[in-house]
Amino acid sequence: MKKALIFILPFLILPLFLRSDVLYMLGLSFIFVVYCVSWDIVAGYTGQTNLGHTVFIGIGAYTAALLSIKTNVPIIASIILGGIVSTAFGLAIGCVCLRLKEYYLALVTAILPLIFIQLANIYSNVFGGYEGLSIPFSKALPGGVIGNYYISLLFCILCLAFIYAFINSNIGLKLRAIRDDEELAEAVGIDVVKYKLLAFCVSAFFAGMAGALAVHYKLTAGVDFFGIPLMLEIILGVIAGGLGTFYGGIAGGFAIYVAKNWVFMQISSIVNSISPFRISDELILYAVLIVLIVRFPRGLFYELEELLNNKVIKERLK
Amino acid sequence: MIAEILVLGTVMGGVLALVASGFSLVFGVSRILNFAHGTYFALGAYFSLVFYLLFEKLLAFLPKELILLISAFLAILLTGFTGVLIYLATVKPVRNYEVMVILVTLAVALLIKELLLTFFSDVSISIPPFVTGCIVIFGIPVTYSRIIALVIAALSIATLDVFINKTKLGRETVATAQDVEAAMLVGIDVERVFITVMFISSALAGVAGILYAQIYAVNPMTSLRVLIYAFAIVILGGLGSVRGSILAAFIIGYMQVAVSTLFTSEWAEIVAMLTIIAILVIRPQGIMGVE
């Protein structure tokens, strides 16, 4: 608990020093951390390769957007409803998909977001198509950039606290048992399907709320909430930090988001000013991703851990 | 209406069979789920166009058809080598980590999509057909390019079949698909088999891309859209079964054309995706799947 406070403290005073555009980006990075950690519940703790996490984010986002445009529900209700609708989809999708194993699960979940993107395009009069939807200014989070920053920081801390409690509870233990050996878990009396579904729903709930908050933060909702690039960034964040390590997911997610939306942007704008071809920040992201995976296929976290362990062993041998 | 779906669907099925059989072959032999497979489809078309534009100037004394054939041939070879190169550089180092293989191939697909966007921008390209003109079948005008596409697709698949069943390398491929370790034990160079299969698979996707670009058009986004159809086909046919994929390719081809004609082409993709899910719920191993 004390450790957590030490980590949170610098973020509380950051708004005093930073420019508002950086602050805006940091606020979004907290939401992105929730995407990452909620994905980790299913991928890292339950061991299910879910490549369709953006479905939950997108459903939450579009729910919040449509509620804000068509009705007059308060922001907080629209965020929670985003989570609930997303959970319902998680339940439905989970019932169908979770019987599948490995390759098949990865294939199907990879395709799911694309279905939603197509549907958003076909019914563009409702979902705004490729352009997306704009949210009325009255539905913005209060307090300007600084208010947005603190709200999303608070949201992030609350979500992380709940997720931390969840994965360290008895249920979390059962989920890890399923990840390590599904048949063994079933043999000792764990209802594997039920707990996988539960993990899916919890993951969907937090992702949906995060997506909904992002809509109120950015005041737009578009198909990029469902997009494959977003999914890849989430996976990259968690894998860089270490699957199923909680803190790794937080650190990795934060680092990736800041790298992509700040560092890579700067690099691409510098490159573009001298080269004739337009190099997008995404191009750099994918290149970095490929190098990272090829170089550290087990994630940076485990490689670092091993490096440290080796050092300790070597020192002891001396 | 029905005749149109039958005629156009057969051509579509042939092109899709090229894409899916390669995808399935790679999975069957090396258990690699190659998300970059659709990229080879797009690359085939783009390489072919670039070669054509290049040779049109350099070899202007040759007939146009010959230039098209030469550029298509070179593009197929280049696509094959690109596939092998991508395999060696990115997939091979992480082959033992299933999820990483998916991620790295997906990242490669997106990277190449971005590169295509950078160099060719977001417009659709077409390649001039080998032969122009059309004939009427069942009251439907069918361009020669479509008929040639079907013939080339059938020939390619027949060649693949002969390769797998009749040659030594082909039998080594089958052995590797059945049991990698046992294949190693009897002295098969498994790595060579993997590279061969990768070359064949990406070259086949390149052929499909060139044929498709002669009939319709290809843009940087195509690489991901084709992937959806490849998924639908291999899941319908069963992961790893090449014959199952060819059968399923025609089913999906007819379905794609039917839905596009009756509704819009956007719905065709949704129907393809829903087929995947429906198949997985009803019969997860597909029509002729392997474990």
pLDDT score for B7: 81
Cβ pair A226, A141 in contact under 8 A: no
pLDDT score for B18: 87
| pLDDT per position as a tens digit, A287-307 | 888 888 888 777 777 777 777
Residue B192 CB neighbours (<10 A): 13
| pLDDT per position as a tens digit, A203-232 | 999 999 999 999 999 888 888 888 888 988
Say yes or no for a CB contact (<8 Å) between A277 and B274: no
Say yes or no for a CB contact (<8 Å) between B104 and A122: no
Q: How far apart are CA A45 and CA A177, in angstroms?
A: 9
Say yes or no for a CB contact (<8 Å) between A108 and B104: no
Length of chain B in terms of residues written: 291
Residue A238's contacts (CB-CB under 8 Å, 6 or more residues apart) are A36, A37, A39, A40, A43, A44, A248, A249, A252, A253
Q: Which residue has the higher pLDDT, A276 or B217?
A: B217
pLDDT score for A81: 93
| pLDDT per position as a tens digit, B24-74 | 888 888 888 888 898 999 999 999 989 888 888 887 777 878 888 888 899
Q: Quick one: which of A85, A160, A109, A2 has its CA closest to B235? A: A109
Of A100, A118, A228, the CB nearest to B270: A118
Q: What is chain A's mean pLDDT, rounded? A: 85
Contacts of B239 in chain A (CB under 8 A): 103-104
Q: Smallest CA–CA separation between B64 and chain A, in Å?
A: 31
- ipTM (interface predicted TM): 0.81
| pLDDT per position as a tens digit, B194-227 | 999 999 999 999 999 998 888 888 888 888 888 8
Q: Smallest CA–CA separation between B93 and chain A, in Å?
A: 6
Provide, rounded to the nearest whole percent, the portion of chain A with pLDDT above 90. 24
pLDDT score for A87: 94
pLDDT score for A310: 78
Q: Smallest CA–CA separation between B211 and chain A, in Å?
A: 25
Provide, rounded to the nearest whole percent, the portion of chain A with pLDDT above 70. 97
Say yes or no for a CB contact (<8 Å) between A283 and B114: yes
Whether pLDDT at A266 is above 50: yes
Say yes or no for a CB contact (<8 Å) between B276 and A298: no
Contacts of B93 in chain A (CB under 8 A): 294, 297
Determine the residue of chain A that is closest to B268 in CA distance: A118
Q: Smallest CA–CA separation between B69 and chain A, in Å?
A: 30
Whether pLDDT at A261 is above 90: no
Say yes or no for a CB contact (<8 Å) between A277 and B118: yes
Contacts of B280 in chain A (CB under 8 A): 96-97, 100, 104, 108
Q: Smallest CA–CA separation between B102 and chain A, in Å?
A: 9
Contacts of B114 in chain A (CB under 8 A): 280, 282-283, 286
Contacts of A106 in chain B (CB under 8 A): 33, 99, 102
Cβ pair A212, A64 in contact under 8 A: yes
pLDDT score for B286: 61
pLDDT score for B6: 82
Domains of chain A as residue ranges with CATH:
17-317 (1.10.3470)
Average pLDDT over residues A61-76: 88
Interface of B with A (CB under 8 A): 27, 33, 35, 89-90, 93-94, 96-100, 102-104, 106-108, 110-111, 114-115, 117-119, 224, 228, 231, 235, 239, 264, 266-267, 269-270, 273-274, 276-277, 280-281, 284
Residue B143's contacts (CB-CB under 8 Å, 6 or more residues apart) are B129, B132, B133, B134, B215
Cβ pair B125, B218 in contact under 8 A: yes
Give the confidence band of A71 by pLDDT, cuts at 50, 70, 90: confident
What residues are paired with A220 via a beta bridge? A134
Q: Smallest CA–CA separation between B273 and chain A, in Å?
A: 7
Residue ranges, chain B, pLDDT below 50? 291
Q: Give the A:B interface size as CB pairs under 8 Å.
A: 113
Whether pLDDT at A194 is above 50: yes
pTM of the full predicted structure?
A: 0.85
